[in-house]
Amino acid sequence: MTALIHAEELTKRFDGLVAVNQVSLRLEEGEVLGIIGPNGSGKTTLFNLLSGYFPPCEGAIFFAGKNVTEVPAHQRVKMGMARTFQLVSVFDSLKVWENLVLSNLRTKKVKESPLGFFFSAARKKATLQSCQDALDLVGLASKAETPTYELSYGDKRMLEIAIGISLNPRILLLDEPLAGLSDHEIGSVLEMINRVKESFSLVVIEHKISKIVDLVQKLIVMNEGKIISEGSAENCLGDPKVRECYWGKEE
């Protein structure tokens, strides 16, 4: 079976620093993968390689069987790869629904200009429906007309995830979706992710390990740019190498 994402021996160097070191991974269609590791272990750099924001110094990336190593980020979005960022990335100057529509206009496969969108009833209806469905999923439908700057940080996180969902991706990459959230907001985000995870493959980077162990089917643990453990959450968290990198060497 062809993996949805297959990375082979990815390496990324920044001057003398090796941020990602010979990392290989495989993600099947519909799978939920978690990536954990201490700060500076290379998790976000790996995301940037997979999504096309950085080119690898070595290695190759395949998406649905196609070599996308040199395909730019915006083209990967059109192919079905969406992501969020550690720091929430939305347009505060726009209304909530406008954030989603703008993202859809910029990334849909159809050659659709803003002018064409507003003067084509069919395109406008389809795009608005996709955006409305995404807002419904994340619980922001009642705030569609709200200026984004008025949202709480947790709602902005939900909006960013809604943007990714509205693109109808085959895979959604979430970079620390729980960072900076209150316990109540964390519960809301996790409940929403559990509702929608059947719709696409999902990869989650997260520091709050206990919050995602029941969400993921497989876990990858990184340290110093390398994968040091891979498998079920139970096996990874019990791995002596993982325990050492988090809590130090046991006597």
* Domain shared by 159 and 184, yes or no: no
64 in any annotated domain: yes
Which two structure tokens, joined as six digits, stand for 15?
Answer: 């001057």
Is 19 within a domain? yes
DSSP state of 87: S
For residue 50, CA distances in Å to 83, 153, 173 come to: 10, 26, 9
- Backbone CA torsion sign across 133, 134, 140, 144: negative
Place of tokens 């990967």: 76
Instruction: For residues 51 and 68, give the distance between their C-alpha atoms in angstroms, rounded to a whole number.
Output: 9
Who wins on pLDDT, 58 or 188? Answer: 58
Residues 204 and 145 in one domain: no
82-114 pLDDT, tens digit each = 999 888 889 999 999 989 888 877 665 444 555
My answer on whether 124 and 234 are in the same domain is no
Provide the domain count of the chain. Answer: 2
Verify that 22 and 129 share a domain, yes or no. Answer: no
Beta bridge partners of 173: 83, 203
Q: Residues in the chain, how many?
A: 251
Does residue 178 share a domain with residue 76? yes
250 is a domain residue? yes
In a domain, 245, yes or no: yes
Residues 65 and 179 in one domain: yes
Is residue 209 situated within a structural domain? yes
Cross-strand bridge partners of residue 174: 204
Record the pTM: 0.86
Check the CA dihedral 155-156-161-163 and report its sign: positive
What is the pLDDT, as a whole number, of residue 121? Answer: 47
CA dihedral 162, 102, 75, 86 (to 10 degrees): -50
Q: Are 170 and 64 in contact (CB under 8 A)?
A: yes
Three-class SS of residue 59? strand
What's the pLDDT band for 119 if we cut at 50, 70, 90?
very low
Decide which of 163, 195, 220 is a domain's last residue: 163
Residue of 25 and 89 predicted with greater confidence: 25
Q: Domain end: 134, 163, 192, which one?
A: 163
Residue 60 neighbours by CB distance under 10 Å: 15
Domain that residue 106 falls in: 91-163
CA distance 165 to 5: 18
CATH code at 10? 3.40.50.300
Q: CB neighbours of 88 closer than 8 A, spacing ≥ 6? A: 153, 156, 157, 159, 160
Is 221 found in the same domain as 151?
A: no
Query: Are 151 and 120 within one domain?
Result: yes
- Rank 56-65, 132-141, 196-205, 241-250 by mean pLDDT and report only the highest: 56-65
Cα 214 from Cα 227, distance rounded (Å): 21
Per the domain annotation, does 85 fall within a domain? no
